[in-house]
Amino acid sequence: QMAPSVFCLLIRTIRTARTQAEEREMIQKECAAIRSSFREEDNTYRCRNVAKLLYMHMLGYPAHFGQLECLKLIASQKFTDKRIGYLGAMLLLDERQDVHLLMTNCIKNDLNHSTQYVQGLALCTLGCMGSSEMCRDLAGEVEKLLKTSNSYLRKKAALCAVHVIRKVPELMEMFLPATKNLLNEKNHGVLHTSVVLLTEMCERSPDMLAHFRKLVPQLVRILKNLIMSGYSPEHDVSGISDPFLQVRILRLLRILGRNDDDSSEAMNDILAQVATNTETSKNVGNAILYETVLTIMDIKSESGLRVLAINILGRFLLNNDKNIRYVALTSLLKTVQTDHNAVQRHRSTIVDCLKDLDVSIKRRAMELSFALVNGNNVRGMMKELLYFLDSCEPEFKADCASGIFLAAEKYAPSKRWHIDTIMRVLTTAGSYVRDDAVPNLIQLITNSVEMHAYTVQRLYKAILGDYSQQPLVQVASWCIGEYGDLLVSGQCEEEEPIQVTEDEVLDILESVLISNMSASVTRGYALTAIMKLSTRFTCTVNRIKKVVSIYGSSIDVELQQRAVEYNALFKKYDHMRPALLERMPVMEKATTNGPTEIVQTNGETEPAVLETKPPPSGLSCRSAAFLFSTGIPSITAYNKNGLKIDFTFERSNTNPSVTVITIQASNSTELDMTDFVFQAAVPKVEPWRAAYSDRLRASCKYFLISELVMAAYSDRLRASCKYFLISAFM
């Protein structure tokens, strides 16, 4: 042997190091010695030194200076050298270093060596880390060895071929002839690797796949023999003969049977046999069953077989072994769409898995549960899922909440139940609910007309104690703003109506406004709600006016802008206020996602409704006007320092649902006006709000930002106008 005692001595020595620093020192000393030995080109100790280097590499120390030495070892005649050399190459070299190509010739020689174990080393190395260039150069040698009768080499050559194909797919064709009688082998190693090779080829090429379909009967026979044969000590694992080979064959059958009726039929019996006869007490049997199930589900199998497969998964779910349950859930998730009814039968077991301690199992159980909700089981399922939402880890809450909303929307047995479910989610996981759920919920609530009183009461009660969960507070604020009148008049039928005064309602909304916990968006909701109540409440309008005017000097630009505009509503446009703040109509669910007549720009140009004259050069003008009706008198939006901007409005002749806004900007000064920038802020309206704007148009509403207000605006006008419009009309 190559002086093992010295080698062991090194390891032993290094292990005595008590600190990282001590170890590093030893290693550095050793490395220095090794380096000088390498420099001396010492053939005798090279092997031992590389071995030491590999050990140090495993500890995490750099060993790249040994790369060339590995190549020298590979080129050596001594088997001991080759063994370590090839190991070193696999550990220290890869295709990113140019030096690896120097191996090619050595490998080529060794592939033709007289000793099979040397050939084996070469095949193994090539098959593990061969680069594309190496594979190209040596593919021919591999192909030759694929045809040898030496099973030790043949099996390695097969896997080497797999690697070559993965690296250089164009070379796949050249291995085709050699595959001719691969499956005739008795040797399990060759059989296994051959099946792997065939699998690889079939995956990559539909032509290969078609070509190899004829192997199905032979594969079925081999599998049958494995199952039926008696005890074979060499390949036995807990009473099962060569489970590795069985699984690979099942996998290949899967690929061959997909989308092919004849092949699927030919394998039907063997699949049923494996499914029913495989011993399930140990993991190995279940591994085979698992693969069988995957195959059955993927080919064109009879329905009876499919049910059998799902039942196997159902039994897996009841297994004490966590791993088996995990695998069952993963598979059921894949099959739930295609075999929904069969999976439904295992619903209660799946729901039980929600209580599992393993996070991956819980997640899969949750996804599967959502997939299984239908009109019949929605009440029971939602109960379980709401409980899960309550007790699950934070990483699940957002997805679970979204899932519950979706399921509730689709299957709610009653409006009351729907509202209650939403409430439950908002109060249980209020801070995890996704932001995009809020507008959706608002739409839902709006459309549940008969539940308005009940909803606003429940939401009011929910935030009374705790207004920290933003999505909940946003929805609640919006509702209170809309239906506050129902709240104070105690109109709730579904439950005992509470007594609450207008002032109390305003108290809670103001608390939200003031609170540190409230996000800016939430504050916006609250302020708008307060404003809306000015037309719904009777006794507290002055209070509302006061609040609104206070926020006119808020440092939050959003709030400031809204407040200022609401102020303007109170003052100059009071006659419009009731109509503007009217109850939102029921919104149709958008069936298409296309834009309505309202221009939506998203920053890109789209067919614009807005028609503008080319603006003259002039001052930078920031102004905007939003108008949605006919018969609007023209407006002078801006008239200062010689720049006058007028808006005129007309129905389009060709399309009466379109309003054409024309802007005329004129310069009455002697001088030219340069850098005139016209920015039109156009509201981006969600489809469900577009329905509302139809209503607006019909009732001739418009709102214009006064010149006083404009002057106060910053560049945020563009974005904030959108908010304003939407918030106002909310």
Partner 1 sequence: LEELRFKSAPVPGEGSNVVSYGSVSFGWLWGQSGAVLGSGFSCDGSIGKSFSRRIHFILLFSRQGKLRLQKWYTTLPDKEKKKIIREIVQIILSRNQKTSSFVDWKDLKLVYKRYASLYFCCAIEDQDNELLTLEVVHRYVELLDRYFGNVCELDIIFNFEKAYFILDEFIIGGEVQETSKRSAVKAIEDSDMLQETVEEYMNKPAF
Q: Which has the closest alpha carbon to 696: 609, 566, 598? A: 598
Site for partner 1 in 590-619 (CB under 8 A): 590, 593-595, 600, 602
The nearer residue to partner 1, 3 or 517, going by C-beta atoms, is: 3
Q: Please state the closest distance from residue 247 (CB atom) to partner 1, in A.
A: 5
CA distances from 286 to 220, 313, 315, 328, 714 (A): 20, 10, 11, 10, 68
**Contacts of partner 1 in 328-387 (CB under 8 A):** 333-337, 357-361, 367, 371
| Residue 245 binding partner 1, by CB under 8 A | yes
Q: How many CB atoms lie within 10 A of CB 507?
A: 13
The pair of structure tokens assigned to 245 is 């080979």
Cβ atoms of 75 and 114 within 8 Å: the answer is no
205 touches partner 1 (CB under 8 A): no
The token pair at 39 is 């420099």
Q: Least separation, in Å, of the C-beta of 375 and partner 1?
A: 12
Q: Is 586 in the site for partner 1 (CB under 8 A)?
A: no
Q: Are 181 and 190 in contact (CB under 8 A)?
A: no
Is-contact 133 101, C-beta < 8 A? yes
Q: Could you tell me the smallest distance in angstroms from the CB atom of residue 350 to partner 1?
A: 13
Tell me which residues in 454-513 interact with partner 1 (CB under 8 A): none
Select 399 or 646, whichever has its Cβ closest to partner 1.
399
Q: Per CB under 8 A, which of residues 4..43 are in contact with partner 1?
A: 8, 11-12, 15, 43
Q: Determine the length of the chain.
A: 730
Residue 687 within binding range of partner 1, rule CB under 8 A: yes
* 276 near partner 1, rule: CB under 8 A: no
Min dist. Cβ of residue 645 to partner 1 (A): 27
Candidates 75, 227, 576, 609; binder of partner 1 (CB under 8 A) is 75
> Which residues in the 81-140 window bind partner 1 by CB under 8 A?
81, 83-84, 87, 91, 94-96, 115, 117, 120, 123-124, 127-129
Candidate segments 213-221, 231-239, 376-384, 648-656, binder of partner 1 by CB under 8 A: 231-239
Contact between 294 and partner 1 by CB under 8 A: the answer reads yes
Measured over the CA atoms of residue 402, residue 404, residue 410 and residue 412, the dihedral's sign is negative
Question: CA–CA separation, 693 vs 729, rounded Å?
Answer: 9
Tell me how crowded residue 224 is: count the other CB atoms within 10 A of its CB: 14
User: Cβ closer to partner 1: 230 or 614?
Assistant: 230
Choose the binding region for partner 1 from 214-222, 292-300, 305-313, 525-533 (rule: CB under 8 A).
Answer: 292-300
Site for partner 1 in 45-64 (CB under 8 A): 51, 54-55, 58-60
Exactly one of 113, 213, 235, 718 binds partner 1 (CB under 8 A); that residue is: 235
Closer CB to partner 1, 439 or 616, in the complex: 439
Q: Which stretch binds partner 1 (CB under 8 A): 1-9, 31-39, 448-456, 673-681?
A: 1-9
Alpha helices, DSSP H only, in 534-643?
Answer: 541-550, 557-571, 577-580
Give the nearer residue to partner 1 in terms of CB position, either 77 or 303: 77
- Block residue for tokens 């061969």: 130
What are the angstrom distances between the C-alpha of 156 and each of 108, 200, 353, 691? 15, 15, 43, 69
Instruction: Work out which of 69, 143, 291, 384 binds partner 1, going by CB under 8 A.
Output: 291
Cα 192 from Cα 169, distance rounded (Å) = 21
Both tokens assigned to 532: 């809306």
- Residues 708, 637 contacting (CB under 8 angstroms): no
> Whole-angstrom Cα distance, residue 558 to residue 355?
44
Least distance in angstroms from the C-beta of 246 to partner 1: 9
| Cα 601 from Cα 683, distance rounded (Å) | 9
Measured at the alpha carbon of residue 565, what is the angle toward residues 561 and 566, in degrees to the nearest 5? 115
Residues from 136 through 155 that contact partner 1 (CB under 8 A): 152, 155
Closer residue to partner 1 in complex, CB, 373/527: 373
Report, in Å, the least distance between residue 260 CB and partner 1: 14
Contacting partner 1 within 656-685 (CB under 8 A): 684-685
CB 663 within 8 Å of CB 678: yes
Q: Which of 24, 383, 410, 572 binds partner 1 (CB under 8 A)?
A: 410
429 touches partner 1 by CB under 8 A: no
Q: What angle do CA 640, 646, 650 make, to 5 degrees?
A: 170
DSSP run (H or E) holding 128: helix 116-129
Is residue 393 at the binding interface for partner 1, with CB under 8 A as the rule?
no
In the complex, the smallest distance separating the C-beta of residue 702 from partner 1, rounded to whole angstroms, is: 21
For residue 81, what is the enclosing H or E element?
helix 79-92
* Cβ 593 to partner 1 shortest distance, Å: 5
Residue 309 binds partner 1 (CB under 8 A): no
Minimum CB–partner distance for residue 142 and partner 1 (Å): 12
Task: Please state the closest distance from residue 370 (CB atom) to partner 1, in A.
Answer: 8
Binding residue for partner 1, selected from 432, 647, 688, 703, defined by CB under 8 A: 688
* Chosen residue from 71, 145, 182, 255 binding partner 1 by CB under 8 A: 255
Which segments within 148-268 are labelled E, that is strand? 236-237, 240-241
Least CB distance to partner 1 at residue 49 (A): 13
Judged by CB under 8 A, the residue of 26, 176, 406, 680 near partner 1 is 406
3-state secondary structure at position 612: coil
* Contact between residue 619 and residue 676 where contact means Cβ atoms under 8 Å apart: yes
Distances (CA, A) of 716 to 319, 524, 565, 710, 724: 60, 15, 14, 11, 11
Q: How far is the CB of 48 from partner 1 (least distance, A)?
A: 10
Answer for which of 74, 122, 172, 284 binds partner 1 (CB under 8 A) is: 284
Tokens 């120390």 belong to: 61
CA–CA distance from 91 to each of 86, 119, 125, 425 (Å)? 9, 19, 10, 54
Q: Does 724 bind partner 1 (CB under 8 A)?
A: no
